[in-house]
Structure 1
């Protein structure tokens, strides 16, 4: 009975807060097929997470530019304040989480488009269902122990663990759905066009060879209660710009304050030792065609989509940093597609945010002269330095006030 009371409590809370409902039959659908199955099942309610998005985007700045490419294949999403259910001592409570993601498409926009459209809903659904499971597990422990109280022993780790799991499952679901949908589409078109099995196989090979199937990198940042988590697959980057003060060695007596870059991600390039080992174990090869590529084709070793290379070791499993607590000196989180970093270092990006000094080129970067926002300023600088790729960046203000950073301060 106690477990039933707790389950009822969850459903009531979710219904009163955001109109969510988890039925036993829908939970079975979820366990069998994940988020995509839930959204397409008559056993489940029509899920709408729009009410979970709270107003206020001041601390989430975005900018994108097609650059010198023929097409714009980058996609972004950023929701700095999203209400999610979490398990508290008295049952389910509300908490706020920030979500930002950049998807850098290649070979077409289909994969990045699907990822950006589905990530938010799939992520929230995974959070709801796993919070329900967490509550049910705790209630069962209470029932077996013969406890009447509904007080639960919970901590931040359980909530953060659910968010991390939701991130990983969301990428997995999107990749699976994209792969399934495009494989079915190719087979269907092949069947209509070429009836014989030989011709179908020939058509499939031609379709794959001519890059009819796209792919996308993905980088996602979550932040909650002063902590951040980064999940990455591909070669986009996430970094933190933190305020650092130190003595100027060249001018004794001067104290220099700047925003120092800390890169939080490692690129998934095919020649990275661990990535190369996986590719070769799967029967693939790493060939240098301008840059190292899987089978001489793909310049990243992890991605959403890229169906033709999945059997050669390309995976859609994000590398996750683990939750990190922010300090009072951390001012900006930056997420950017690889076009941003084609001609700029991570420190260059932080210098732009600082309005600092580009020592290598002996030029001052003045963010006040850039269009609109700090994010626009980064894109503007990347383009002016002749980056040849699509350019997309999200700048997250980790502190509400702007940092006071004079380039040189006298002691």
Structure 2
């Protein structure tokens, strides 16, 4: 992140917000919920701040640092004036579960802390650490569509600035990416996208054992969402896949049938085995608990959900498990990219097809406007990479997917290097082998 870019944004921002928000004036961004528990405040405040800054063109690294500084100040404030009155209909057990805060009022305080930090930094910008997205190379291409479904129930998060957002200063680069595929509503997917990375950052084993940290974070989020679902009478669920790049170590965690694959030197590497009700070990686990897996158009747990693991779906716990699986692999420096996607993509596209589809997307210019000529092709890495996810989503839709589709590519080397390698291989008369490996790396 360049200092001049940060200064330019701060100058624009303080022109729009020269002082704290006055009581009673509308918030510039809408909170996710009406009431928030003290535990949920961390994730919802960060989401609110990042959304507000992103829509105004803030550099991602600066956004993370501003939000982290504002949240640190918020958590030092006395929040008791924002406690919600006790619900007269709530029983004693529910009252003891969580102290609830009035979301709009407490988020106004957070946004004012954010504005005050921006005003201070506009006067004197602190020394900013370089963005982790510049070294090693990381570029994210993401596209999501509702497709033919009535609602869009997918959520995703790309967070190359993981350390800055949580104030981690141990010298180890970290980046986090996740895709969540909701069902029965968007609530569980939104909750997971808002809170999983926050819970992960708080796990004691994050630095020593990221897989164990991920498992703890998923379990914690499932427990947190149970409280939200109970008080707001929610019935939704969400599968999810998340990755943490920590130094040269890649950790993948997943619940359900969303997936991630790694492509190394043009070949797909299997990192995980998605949870599906008809997977033999999943079927056995469900039956051992006294449940059943039946075929009703597709394989379903107890004749209801078509997923065997998910955040939420509490009416079918423990048959629909909230326990995540994880795998860890070392990055060797020859990796091309990661691809994360929901089942709306993988139901129509096999992992072995991905390398050729990505290369084809990298080679082709953007689609012309209807009735217009082909636009000029920007051959920068950013421009070349941005269109790839959109091409893959379009391919899955054309191949017959009717579900919500979310595709996220995290390039681990510049896209133009992939094109150059393919061009060299073509001149040599060779073909890239995109055969999928059978076993995940240990």
TM range (shorter): 0.5 to 0.7
Q: Deviations over 1:208-255 (max 9, x none)?
A: xxxx61110010011022221100110011101122xxxxxxxxxxxx
Aligned equivalent of 1:81, options 144, 161, 165: 161
Q: Deviations over 1:177-216 (max 9, x none)?
A: 2122222444xxxxxxxxxxxxxxxxxxxxxxxxx61110
Aligned equivalent of 1:98, options 175, 181, 184: 175
Aligned equivalent of 2:272, options 262, 265, 268: 265
Q: Could you say which residue in structure 1 is the equivalent of 2:348? A: 343
Q: Could you say which residue in structure 2 is the equivalent of 1:118? A: 195
Q: Which runs of 4+ in 1 moved over 4 A?
A: 18-23, 36-40, 48-58, 84-87, 369-372
Distance 1:225 1:93 in 2: 11
C-alpha displacement at 1:290, in angstroms?
A: 1.6
Contact 2:211 2:252 in 1 (8 A): no
Q: If the length of structure 2 is used for normalisation, what is the TM-score?
A: 0.59
Aligned equivalent of 1:240, options 258, 262, 268: 262
Q: Assess, with a 3 A threshold, how the Cα gap between structure 1 residues 123 and 240 changes in structure 2: closer, same or farther.
A: same
Q: If the length of structure 1 is used for normalisation, what is the TM-score?
A: 0.64
Where does structure 2 lack aligned partners over 5 or more consecutive residues? 1-64, 77-96, 102-109, 118-127, 369-385, 430-442
Distance 1:374 1:352 in 2: 9
Query: Match of 2:162, SS?
Result: strand
Matched, 1:381 2:395: yes
Aligned equivalent of 1:278, options 272, 285, 299: 285
Where does structure 1 lack aligned partners over 5 or more consecutive residues? 1-14, 24-35, 41-45, 132-157, 187-211, 244-258, 357-364
Q: Could you say which residue in structure 1 is the equivalent of 2:139? A: 59
Q: Could you say which residue in structure 2 is the equivalent of 1:71? A: 151
Pairwise mapping of residues 162-181 of structure 1 onto structure 2 (< 5 A)? Answer: 163-181=210-228
Kindly report the root-mean-square deviation, in angstroms, between the aligned alpha carbons of the 2 structures.
3.7
Matched, 1:318 2:324: yes
Higher relative contact order (CA 8 A, sep 6+): 1
C-alpha displacement at 1:263, in angstroms?
A: 2.5
Say which one has the larger Rg.
Answer: 1
Q: Assess, with a 3 A threshold, how the Cα gap between structure 1 residues 53 and 389 changes in structure 2: closer, same or farther.
A: farther
Aligned equivalent of 1:368, options 343, 365, 370: 365
Q: Assess, with a 3 A threshold, how the Cα gap between structure 1 residues 52 and 160 changes in structure 2: closer, same or farther.
A: farther
Contact 2:261 2:339 in 1 (8 A): yes
Distance 1:38 1:399 in 2: 46
C-alpha displacement at 1:329, in angstroms?
A: 2.7
Q: Deviations over 1:72-115 (max 9, x none)?
A: 0000001123226899xxxx734320000000001111110111
Q: Could you say which residue in structure 1 is the equivalent of 2:379? A: none
Q: Assess, with a 3 A threshold, how the Cα gap between structure 1 residues 375 and 241 changes in structure 2: closer, same or farther.
A: same
